[in-house]
Structure 1
């Protein structure tokens, strides 16, 4: 189990505790933890989780290792944004973020903030990333947003991407890279620029993917990258932005990203495992529909997930069969245990190689995440998958990760091995859509 409310457990009651014991055998890389109840993680209930291992390739290539969390934010509490988003009789677009932060920090121009909010940036400051001059550093980027995909880069520095979602990569160089919600990338940068000692790290929300690209007052958030003469950590006693000299560096002269999509086709895993032949294929049609009470909900095929907080799905499939009316349905979709209108549960018996083909009939991209497994990205692109190509999809050099972006009106074909017994959620990581649509 993994803490998904309504799937593997009941919510942890207020004032109570719950201990998770996690086996990390054979794993290393960059991960994160967060609440999976309602919209709690939007309001800040998240954090990084890094697994170190002497077996990880390239550990001798960098001197220091830092986590950089990118996230959007809203002036209002997430529950209020959710009520507006799910209001009946309206085909509402996802709430557009009011801004963004790096490691929980940013500064706002209070003159641009709605007067109904209290704004005082007197003592606020930007995040600072201290790098020892003359050596290489690993930056672990984690997008913990509710909705925004980011384009990130460091002025005057090339980033060597070496990891994606816990999978080690053959180093590839970028000046800027896209990172969608729940994705993680590690990049090595060298603190050897003669241009300056302080530089901007820029993270820009790709607002072209929002329903109203002009609604965001300032889509870019910055952090200060500062060279030091010795290894040092960020200090809470650093001066406020009104007292210090800010970087004057300029961004890389590239066209800005206007499409929300992954780098997957350009990334090569260090351990290039040939994906096995599939045993089973499931097809999922992802879209939004206006159903009962004129409420807009997300769907896989004809199913829109409605979690049961007092009877998690895992409990219902582990109850002895004689306690259920009849034997559990042996079909792929467990109709005898679950109402498929409220929860699509796909059953796989034993260790199998499973393909999921998802067509996105929505006008927005979706970062899809599978719990409990990593998967090979066999194919992805714009438009809809041509079934005649299925038998000839290449199996070599496929990237293994746990979160993949399906473009607007696009598709993705993923493959994984069911070698981790349990019940695992497959859902969109955008926090608003994942509430009315969790597969």
Structure 2
């Protein structure tokens, strides 16, 4: 199996940078065994050109992602096929002079965090945001399609707060269908009804209606994000970063000088709801829609000549790549977020080693890598030392792992790129070299056992254990559905949280029996966890594809994982004890035909989803729930505005 981190640092620039970060964590190969933490004409004319260059330079210096534009102005023709590297030509002078950031595009500046003036020690306050969600025709990569935009922009706005702050996010739904927003990675302790999970913690916000998410962020900080949690619409554009700060973050700033968010996602030229029926149709086993492109910061180049003339697509050869301006000698923290629907990416920057310092909100000791696997919904912070030639440009790469796809897409160029520029220009790199480390030849994620938490914690012994099996089966009418322990999830008309609170208050004993609950419909697999339990969860993946599983409302310790099919129960005794400084996260890639052993404290009251974050798989039913802290839930009164969503 190919190593999914990279070769050991050996270049001079890596050795120079390493002492700045400290010793870091040792690199290790991802092998087939168990991984355990217990183990990018005239003088006037000349003057005009100079002015243009200066203006562009100032704009780039401020972090504006003007984009690397392409001079190929051809229209779509009837020749279909894979985009050729020869079409990625350098921008001409006139194209550089005419570059304008579309008013709908969020760019590099929007996601650059001002850490010099931010008060990390400020007293808790209330921060308000207004979201108007609507469907508009946009062309993030040159191909026009309906995009679910927030405030007319794609990607969505940056939400930024301190730990302890209260967030009020007012959502106006101008879509033709319902919607709900999930704040990915946030605990929502005491506000389970604000988790934004359609059919579980709320009914969708109806078309034309509004709703306010109101919650306080406590006991966590780091890199998070938000997205819709209604069917597959999160892949159509309504995503954005959510950054939580803390005084403890100041201890991490010894590693970097600049802090930026980088959104990476796969991109489809069709609306997700148009693709979904074919995926869920009979005889469509292992046929997830393969992306047409990928975008970084909501933009990328696409070769219009790859589009069939009779396809119905409108494609303008004016697409751009994102531009990240760096200053020689500074160290950059890039908060990477995979906001896509399906693809796993291998992230790298030519000629620049990476140092991982955070995963899913957990700060880590620096881990040196050349390539970094980032699955759907995962977040990693990496530090890059801008120590290369001051007049050069380099490629930032987010290469899709095509081994995760069930088939090819002839128009897809999986090598998604953005520009790292030291020279404040958008010239195509000439001395940029991809790392020689082998690309993955399997659909895998980063081995979590390589990561060591920066802030130590202990995982207490488990008091209960559950084993779940995830697989796909051909069901009624030859439909290929996803199952967890034999149950294929379907969104409930009445949220399971509403059902549980009402049942507990009515002293209905079917809602209080520990284990698999019988109180809900047959398409809701819910485990009722005893109060105060510490849970060990063994997830076995019986599918030929890897799955990024996300647990709402919690972080879990990753005790062990393996690509082998079966867990060796004889090893469990050595793991079911207090374990020191085990890696914690909220989204984990579980290998095809492999397993992972996770541990979490079930101290957060409510109904919490555990699901594969590949949009197609969740819609196919790969979701279950945990019911926790009945003793608290029975005292709850769900806010009236939440309940009223179900009356529309």
Report if TM-score (shorter chain) is over 0.5.
Answer: yes
Aligned partner of residue 192 in structure 1, secondary structure: coil
Q: 1:302 to 1:50 in 2, by over 3 A?
A: same
CA distance in 1: counterparts of 2:428 and 2:203, whole angstroms: 48
Q: 1:291 to 1:133 in 2, by over 3 A?
A: same
Partner of residue 140, structure 1: 335
Partner of residue 429, structure 2: 247
- After TM superposition, the score normalised by the length of structure 2 is 0.63
Determine whether 1:293 maps to 2:477.
Answer: yes
Q: 1:315 to 1:225 in 2, by over 3 A?
A: same
CA distance in 1: counterparts of 2:291 and 2:591, whole angstroms: 20
Partner of residue 244, structure 2: 51
- Structure number with bigger Rg: 2
The one-character-per-residue Cα deviations of 1:48-105 (angstroms, maximum 9, x if unpaired) are 1111222123123322111111100111110111111001244242111111110110
Partner of residue 208, structure 1: 403
Determine whether 1:305 maps to 2:495.
Answer: no
1:133–1:228: 8 Å Cα contact kept in structure 2? no
Determine whether 1:277 maps to 2:471.
Answer: no
Partner of residue 293, structure 2: 99
Q: 1:304 to 1:71 in 2, by over 3 A?
A: same
Determine whether 1:362 maps to 2:562.
Answer: no
- After TM superposition, the score normalised by the length of structure 1 is 0.92
Which of these residues, 218, 223, 229, is aligned with residue 418 of structure 2?
A: 223
Which of these residues, 245, 253, 258, is aligned with residue 64 of structure 1?
A: 258
Aligned partner of residue 272 in structure 1, secondary structure: coil
Determine whether 1:173 maps to 2:368.
Answer: yes
Displacement after TM superposition at 1:141 (Å): 0.4
Displacement after TM superposition at 1:349 (Å): 2.8
The one-character-per-residue Cα deviations of 1:389-420 (angstroms, maximum 9, x if unpaired) are 11112723321000001000000010000121
CA distance in 2: counterparts of 1:34 and 1:82, whole angstroms: 18
2:322–2:419: 8 Å Cα contact kept in structure 1? yes
Q: 1:54 to 1:227 in 2, by over 3 A?
A: farther
1:86–1:92: 8 Å Cα contact kept in structure 2? no
Partner of residue 19, structure 1: 212
* Structure with the higher helix share, 1 or 2: 2
CA distance in 2: counterparts of 1:72 and 1:114, whole angstroms: 21
1:69–1:103: 8 Å Cα contact kept in structure 2? yes
Determine whether 1:437 maps to 2:622.
Answer: yes
Alpha-carbon RMSD: 1.8
CA distance in 2: counterparts of 1:158 and 1:390, whole angstroms: 37
1:366–1:406: 8 Å Cα contact kept in structure 2? yes
Name whichever of 66-75 and 212-221 sits farther off: 212-221
CA distance in 2: counterparts of 1:160 and 1:25, whole angstroms: 28
Partner of residue 33, structure 1: 226
CA distance in 2: counterparts of 1:206 and 1:216, whole angstroms: 16
Displacement after TM superposition at 1:245 (Å): 2.1
Q: 1:409 to 1:196 in 2, by over 3 A?
A: farther
Which of these residues, 393, 409, 426, is aligned with residue 610 of structure 2?
A: 426
Which of these residues, 116, 125, 128, is aligned with residue 323 of structure 2?
A: 128
The one-character-per-residue Cα deviations of 1:178-235 (angstroms, maximum 9, x if unpaired) are 0000000001111111275211001100002211257563111100011268xxxxxx
The one-character-per-residue Cα deviations of 1:317-373 (angstroms, maximum 9, x if unpaired) are 1014575876535131110x113x301111113221001101100000000000000
Determine whether 1:81 maps to 2:275.
Answer: yes
Q: 1:324 to 1:290 in 2, by over 3 A?
A: farther
CA distance in 2: counterparts of 1:323 and 1:277, whole angstroms: 34
Q: 1:195 to 1:325 in 2, by over 3 A?
A: closer
Partner of residue 234, structure 1: none
CA distance in 2: counterparts of 1:302 and 1:279, whole angstroms: 25
Partner of residue 629, structure 2: none
1:75–1:117: 8 Å Cα contact kept in structure 2? no
Partner of residue 587, structure 2: 403
Partner of residue 351, structure 1: 532
CA distance in 2: counterparts of 1:332 and 1:325, whole angstroms: 16
Partner of residue 570, structure 2: 388
The one-character-per-residue Cα deviations of 1:1-40 (angstroms, maximum 9, x if unpaired) are 2010000000011121211123222321111000000111
CA distance in 2: counterparts of 1:261 and 1:81, whole angstroms: 26
CA distance in 2: counterparts of 1:124 and 1:58, whole angstroms: 37
Aligned partner of residue 553 in structure 2, secondary structure: coil
CA distance in 2: counterparts of 1:228 and 1:54, whole angstroms: 34
List alignment gaps of at least 5 residues for structure 2.
Answer: 1-191, 625-648
CA distance in 1: counterparts of 2:289 and 2:380, whole angstroms: 26
Partner of residue 306, structure 2: 112
Name whichever of 146-155 and 11-20 sits farther off: 11-20
2:561–2:595: 8 Å Cα contact kept in structure 1? yes
